[in-house]
Structure 1
Amino acid sequence: MGPTGPKRRFAAGKSTTVTLADVARLANVSEITVSRILRNIGPVADATRDRVLAAVADLGYVPNRVAGTLASATSNLIGVIIPSLSNIVFADVLRGIDAGLEPSGFRPVVGITNYAAVAEEKLVGSLLAWKPAAMILVGFDHTPITRRRLQQSGIRVAELMDIDSEPIDLAVGLSHRAAGYESIRYLVGRGYRRFGYVGHDWDTDRRARLRWDGMVEALAEAGLTFEAEALFEGPSSTQAGRTMLAGLLRKPHDLDVVMFSNDDMAVGGVFHCMAEGISPKRDLALFGFNGLDIGQALPTPLSTIRSNRFLIGKTAVDRILSQPDRDGATAVIDTGFEILTGETA
């Protein structure tokens, strides 16, 4: 960057940088061979290629795309990887990230995984190759290669939305297990006893599973269980919530409240109730998670838990910019949550 660009203060810290020579030694080939394989130039024996790629994965090596440019060149990029653009939850996080970066001169480069860990692995490799000042990701579920690359990068790494596991560097978010637990305690305190659950694929949304775990724990403490459950085999959506609640209510049981994995699903549940003449709260209570605007704009505002998504993104950037060097110690920032009483439970 020239004199008008941001002053570079992000350093490699105490990391051990893996070089092309390290890969060549482990694979027992020349550095030229490694370079040709990584750039996919010229014919190479399959066995040699496999050996080099295995060494790359084992060492967590990331090619330096900045090499060969001016010696003074530095990156003013912040890598940001999120699971989805269709889910407004992550749009709110991005707004917080952008608000934090706007006055700094650093700019986000955004990648979308569609909840696929392998896609995240590829994006992390690509972004690290451009030597970003920091990396911001959602959650803790990474492939071993992704985790190794992030650990060895030496730059600040922020994992957002969740604080229920040990971070690589910095975690900013809320305890989803605690959110699930407190939602049940709140509803039990309001007299509800017969609980149902409507959710989406836990394999792609670990945080939804953590909330369910917290709910189960709180129910057990009250001597209760979920009397009926319905899981959609795919990502959450309003239509999925409507369909799954309809299926749940066709079964013989006498539920007085249904918990939803998030507000997307819960809003769909409200639409089903409206279509079938079921009065939320009077006939069947509904409770969501996230505190989305659409849930609060319904004729009957949704009862839910609000996560502070803008604050999560902004807080992560503020911490990265104020403490740009990774010092080896991990940090967790709890941005909390709040119960929105609404009118559906």
Structure 2
Amino acid sequence: MRGRNPFDGKPQLTLRDVAEAAGVSEMTVSRVLRNRGDVSDRTRVRVFEAARELGYVPNKIAGALASNRVNLVGVVIPSLSNMVFPDILGGIGKMLDDTPLQPVIGTSHYDPDTEEKVIYEMLSWRPSGLIVAGLEHTTAARAMMRNAGIPVVEVMDVDGDPVAAAVGISHIRAGQDMAREIIARGYRRIGYLGSGSGGDHRARKRLEGFRKGLDEAGVALADSCFYEGMSGFGTGRKMTAEMLTRLPDLDFLYYNTDMNAAGGLLYCLENGMRIPDDIGLAGFNSFDVLDGLPMRIATMDSCRTEIGAKAAELIAANALSDALIALEPTFLEGETVRPRA
């Protein structure tokens, strides 16, 4: 007798239903769906066609109990609204497409306690791997990841102490390289516009590197402005207006993200500023979606898709690893900075 679905009363399909539709035994259906045993190609096709026509989905819980693993990869990121993370997820998904593994997503909202809870829930399902954004976690979260007994990869950052494997860029170096590019193009009165969120560790590290790069050239950061909440065109415009009202003689604005830089660009153009002569601008991340702006914003490619793909590759290898893979961010000069002197 078929089981009953408590939500709508419709009977749940079983192996027997598929077996009857395909004209084979339940054992044969089980072997085909689990890719086990010696079954002819013709029979496999018949079973898969019957299962597809019926809409049958196998129950993998029993198999998971036997192996203590499910074919899921937990992915914990701070946000789905931040444009950085869909590219990471795209790289993960593309790499896992040819494997039995499926990513499942959890979000921490840049809160370490929330992240700890998400990691706990992910690991309680006994996934085949875990990918977590960033290197900063609670003590309990680090302990869970360290003792999970599965491949764990932290992504986006390599400036710190990874729990296991890590794939990312050095944000300190990215900030330092940006400062060197700006100085080489003759800018000296420089302002920084970024996030005030204590949870955005990578932006904080870029600012650290940026200050270091300026110090190397004997240039002090003239001003800084920080926002709470979401980045975007409106945020960028507001910060730019605030900063240039305070210090109208600034000749360069460095934004923590391209989205804020886009708002700053529009503000400067609307106020008759000549870019990049009167003032230069640069962001970070290299978002393709901004290609339609009046000018291409100088930025740095943060290797997001490649980071996701490399992390998924380590997970798919199904081996515990402490590999540290540091990718190289690339400066893209666009049209909002002067040529190098």
Normalised by the length of structure 2, the TM-score is: 0.79
Aligned positions of 1:88-107 closer than 5 A: 88-107=83-102
Does the 8 Å CA contact 1:5/1:105 hold for their aligned counterparts?
Answer: no
| Change beyond 3 A, Cα 1:198–1:146 | same
| Change beyond 3 A, Cα 1:340–1:244 | same
Alpha-carbon distance between aligned partners in 2 of 1:148 and 1:240, rounded to the nearest angstrom: 37
Does the 8 Å CA contact 1:6/1:105 hold for their aligned counterparts?
Answer: no
Aligned positions of 1:197-208 closer than 5 A: 197-208=192-203
Alpha-carbon distance between aligned partners in 2 of 1:3 and 1:340, rounded to the nearest angstrom: 51
| Change beyond 3 A, Cα 1:72–1:3 | farther
Report what 1:180 is aligned to. 175
Does the 8 Å CA contact 2:151/2:315 hold for their aligned counterparts?
Answer: yes
1:222-275, Cα deviation, whole Å (9 max, x unpaired): 011111111112342222111111100111351111110111111111121133
SS in 2 for 1:71: helix
Deviation at residue 72 of structure 1 after TM alignment: 4.6
| Change beyond 3 A, Cα 1:108–1:183 | same
Alpha-carbon distance between aligned partners in 1 of 2:212 and 2:329, rounded to the nearest angstrom: 19
| Change beyond 3 A, Cα 1:69–1:248 | closer
Normalised by the length of structure 1, the TM-score is: 0.78
Alpha-carbon distance between aligned partners in 2 of 1:249 and 1:214, rounded to the nearest angstrom: 23
SS in 2 for 1:250: helix
Q: RMSD of aligned C-alpha atoms?
A: 2.1
Report what 2:190 is aligned to. 195
Alpha-carbon distance between aligned partners in 1 of 2:336 and 2:32, rounded to the nearest angstrom: 56
| Change beyond 3 A, Cα 1:6–1:199 | farther
Q: How many positions carry a matched residue from both structures? A: 284
Deviation at residue 307 of structure 1 after TM alignment: 1.1
Alpha-carbon distance between aligned partners in 1 of 2:31 and 2:106, rounded to the nearest angstrom: 26
Alpha-carbon distance between aligned partners in 2 of 1:69 and 1:181, rounded to the nearest angstrom: 47
1:343 to 2:303 alignment: no
Does the 8 Å CA contact 1:136/1:159 hold for their aligned counterparts?
Answer: yes
Q: Which segments of 5 or more consecutive residues in structure 1 lack a partner in the other structure?
A: 8-65
SS in 1 for 2:147: helix
Q: Whose radius of gyration is greater, 1 or 2?
A: 2
1:226 to 2:221 alignment: yes
Selected match of 1:118 from 96, 113, 118: 113
Report what 1:290 is aligned to. 285
1:166 to 2:161 alignment: yes
After TM superposition, what 4+ stretches of structure 1 lie above 6 angstroms from structure 2?
66-69
Deviation at residue 193 of structure 1 after TM alignment: 1.1
Does the 8 Å CA contact 2:166/2:323 hold for their aligned counterparts?
Answer: yes
Aligned positions of 1:194-273 closer than 5 A: 194-273=189-268
Deviation at residue 276 of structure 1 after TM alignment: 2.0
Does the 8 Å CA contact 1:238/1:267 hold for their aligned counterparts?
Answer: yes
- Residue identity in the other structure for 1:335: L
Selected match of 1:325 from 289, 301, 319: 319
Deviation at residue 282 of structure 1 after TM alignment: 2.3
- Residue identity in the other structure for 1:343: E
| Change beyond 3 A, Cα 1:188–1:216 | same
Identity among equivalent positions (%) equals 38
1:303-338, Cα deviation, whole Å (9 max, x unpaired): 11111111000011112222x1215xx221012111
1:274-322, Cα deviation, whole Å (9 max, x unpaired): 3322232122110100011133331210011111111000011112222
Alpha-carbon distance between aligned partners in 2 of 1:208 and 1:333, rounded to the nearest angstrom: 20
SS in 1 for 2:261: helix
Q: Which segments of 5 or more consecutive residues in structure 2 lack a partner in the other structure?
A: 1-29, 37-60
| Change beyond 3 A, Cα 1:277–1:126 | same
Report what 1:152 is aligned to. 147
